[in-house]
Amino acid sequence: MEYPIIPCGDSAVTLLIGTELSPAVNRLVFAAFSALQHKLVPGVREIVPTYGTLFIHYNPDVLDYAHLCDWIRGVSAVDAADMPSESRLVCIPVCYGGEYGPDLAAVAAHAGLSEQEVIRRHTEREYLVYMLGFLPGFAYLGGMDEAIACPRLAVPRTHIPAGSVGIAGGQTGIYPLASPGGWQLIGRTPRSLFSIREHEIDFLLSAGDRVRFCSITPEDYREREGRG
């Protein structure tokens, strides 16, 4: 299948693979991403996978637009079956409610469920990391139980602690750094999602990973905090 290529200024294009938020579309994204990564040509600076697109940044002094498009079309029209089925599973401990999840009660009330049932539903699913964005290492996770979906806060917070686990609509995610934000906070993880070591950036999660959450106590949180 030939996907549309949309120019984004004079040094980037978007390869539009799908508009539906689904694992099936995301598998096609990563099939095309894998194919392009394995057949890189001089002038391509970066390829960024998202929900249903690939953002391709290139140097127009090295690779002109016409040849870029020829390269993309020549290698991106691959089947999702060409992508390896194995992906990494990352288990993330979360302390739910209380000072770590100040919006858990509000999410439970919105869903008409108990707080423990929200926690059970949040931890029983396996999530797909669709993409990273907003902050370095911020993972947008799909696959959450729709029964606990909840709108963003009407007024965003000016400060959210690093490691906070939130819900916004039908998605859940983890704040890797302290920042402002409007997601409903239901818990916090002591694991570090983002670090800089000797000028190298390390991310715990990558697009295409799978994530499981497990509930821990405040005592467990304090014991694990700072271990990375």
| 195's tokens | 């670090």
pLDDT of the residue at 203? 84
* CATH code of 13's domain: 3.30.1360.40
pLDDT per residue over 44-91, tens digit each?
Answer: 999 988 888 999 999 999 999 999 999 999 887 665 555 555 678 999
With b meaning 16 or more CB within 10 Å and e meaning fewer, what string describes 139-171? bbbbbbeeebbbeebeeebeebebbbbbbbeeb
With b meaning 16 or more CB within 10 Å and e meaning fewer, what string describes 104-131? beebbebbebebeebbebbeebebbbbb
Specify the DSSP element, H or E, that contains 122: helix 115-124
Domain holding 152, by residue range, is 89-224
* Domain termination site, one of 82, 113, 140: 82
Q: Which residues contact 77 (CB under 8 A, 6 or more apart)?
A: 1, 2, 3, 32
Same domain? For 78 and 98 the reply is: no
* C-beta of residue 63 within 8 angstroms of C-beta of residue 41: yes
Look up residue 202 and give its amino acid.
Answer: D
* Domain termination site, one of 49, 82, 115: 82
Same domain? For 122 and 199 the reply is: yes
CA–centroid distance for 134 within its chain: 10
Q: Which residues contact 196 (CB under 8 A, 6 or more apart)?
A: 202
Closest CA to 15 of 61, 140, 141, 31: 31
Same domain? For 119 and 149 the reply is: yes
Mean pLDDT on 32-48: 91
Going by the DSSP 8-state scheme, the letter that residue 145 receives in this structure is -
How far apart CA 165 and CA 127 sit, in angstroms, is 13
How far apart CA 167 and CA 150 sit, in angstroms, is 6
The larger pLDDT score, comparing residue 223 to residue 24, is at 223
Asked if the model's pLDDT at residue 8 lies above 70, the reply is yes
pLDDT band at 228, cuts 50/70/90?
A: low
Same domain? For 159 and 67 the reply is: no
pLDDT of the residue at 202? 80
The pLDDT mean for the chain works out to 90
pLDDT per residue over 104-136, tens digit each?
Answer: 999 999 999 999 999 999 999 999 998 888 888
Number of domains comprising the chain = 2
The larger pLDDT score, comparing residue 25 to residue 198, is at 25
